[in-house]
Structure 1
Amino acid sequence: MWRIDVLTEALFRDAAECHIECWREAYRGIVPDHVLDAVDVDRRADSWRRQQRAAPNPTYLCLEDDGERTRVVGFANAGPARHGEQSAELELHSLYVRRSHYGTGAGTALMTHAIGESACFLWVFEQNLRARAFYRRHGFADDGTSRVDAITIATQIRMTRSGPAAPTDSVHQ
């Protein structure tokens, strides 16, 4: 089983490994392979350290204990809108779950810890149909805004949620 907790320094490297694995699992075929293959665990762990020190909002981790060690299997972070592009005050900055934990409720639990039922927006790759369906089930809708990500050259779309939303079982709006 898994549990939700707040990121601590002891888990920066494991969170970085999870982050990279999630990118490679979710974005292969969306983001160029050379971008995915170039991501470095030590640099990503340093990035986690810097972000955690600079950001007042917690990062929530989905942790799995196998009896010998704790392993990060997902994470979520939210906070004030970045980059001046906002349709709500709160932005879901990240939400990732390892493929092995798809369908377990881990993503929903992480989102609940990160944003509750607040009005919120997020950016998602246009071609990431699985993620877009997940967010629609949680009350988000495409708002017609898009941008090209400078690093990956993939198109992102903005999805927004106006307020309290109860998850639905339907993938469609």
Structure 2
Amino acid sequence: MADWRIAPLTATRVTELAACHIASWREAYGTLVPAHILDGFDLERSAITWERRRAGGRHQLPVALAGDRLIGFAAGTNSARHPEAGLPASTEAELEALYVRSAWHGTGVADALIDAAVPGSPCTLWVFADYPRAHAFYRRHGFTDTGIRRTDPFTLLPEQLWRRARR
């Protein structure tokens, strides 16, 4: 495999990030998320959403590039908001997204992205309850299941809130 690097998201790569997001969902969740949801993604609408996040300045949005191709990304914020779990806003970071194309799983790309998006900080994230591969990855990065649950509003699948203490 070619070498890869981490870089900040630029406006010229937003549509490529949206395409990576959609492809990564289809690769990772093909047996978990109903097909009609995976088939219903709209590239243009997704790109608009990601551009808002990029331009808003609240998110850390590192991308992984192999040559000139975007192969993964992460989205981290400086504060966590979990009103649906009955928790107040906190000053710990939140990892809102971490996606790497399946051909790059196990290469260290996801490790570098998580470090770039939420470097060593106390952090939370939501993960699908029935996704042991992600659970193992997040455990390796110091996250533990808090016992807090919710239903993901997009997929209607159960999710778990995980937390990492300061590293």
Q: Same fold (TM over 0.5)?
A: yes
Does the aligned pair in 2 maintain the 1:119–1:162 contact within 8 Å? yes
1:82 matched residue in structure 2? 81
When the two chains are superposed, the root-mean-square deviation of aligned CA atoms in Å is 1.4
Please show how residues 14-53 of structure 1 align to structure 2 within 5 Å.
14-53=16-55
Please show how residues 79-118 of structure 1 align to structure 2 within 5 Å.
79=77, 80-84=79-83, 85=87, 89-118=92-121
Q: Give the deviation of 1:10 after TM superposition.
A: 0.7
1:8 matched residue in structure 2? 10
* 1:128 partner amino acid: Y
SS state at 1:34 partner: helix
Please show how residues 63-82 of structure 1 align to structure 2 within 5 Å.
63-65=65-67, 70-79=68-77, 80-82=79-81
Length-normalised TM-score, structure 2: 0.91
1:156 matched residue in structure 2? 159
Q: Give the % identical residues.
A: 43
Kindly report structure 1 stretches of 4+ aligned residues shifted beyond 6 Å: none
Q: Count residues in correspondence.
A: 160
| C-alpha distance after superposition, 1:51-85 (max 9, x if no partner) | 112233330000111xxxx1110001111213434
* 2:80 partner amino acid: A
SS state at 2:106 partner: coil
1:61 matched residue in structure 2? 63
1:133 matched residue in structure 2? 136
User: Residues of 1 paired with 2:122 and 2:10: CA distance?
Assistant: 27
User: Residues of 2 paired with 1:27 and 1:87: CA distance?
Assistant: 29
User: Residues of 1 paired with 2:26 and 2:142: CA distance?
Assistant: 26
Length-normalised TM-score, structure 1: 0.88
1:168 matched residue in structure 2? none
User: Residues of 1 paired with 2:13 and 2:146: CA distance?
Assistant: 35
SS state at 2:7 partner: strand
SS state at 1:63 partner: strand
Q: Give the deviation of 1:87 after TM superposition.
A: 6.9
5+ long unaligned stretches in structure 1: 165-173
* 2:97 partner amino acid: S
Q: Does 1:142 align with 2:145?
A: yes
Does the aligned pair in 1 maintain the 2:26–2:38 contact within 8 Å? yes
**CA 1:77–1:13 in 2, change beyond 3 Å: closer, same or farther?**
same
User: Residues of 1 paired with 2:160 and 2:118: CA distance?
Assistant: 19
Does the aligned pair in 1 maintain the 2:53–2:59 contact within 8 Å? no
Does the aligned pair in 2 maintain the 1:76–1:94 contact within 8 Å? yes
User: Residues of 2 paired with 1:91 and 1:127: CA distance?
Assistant: 20
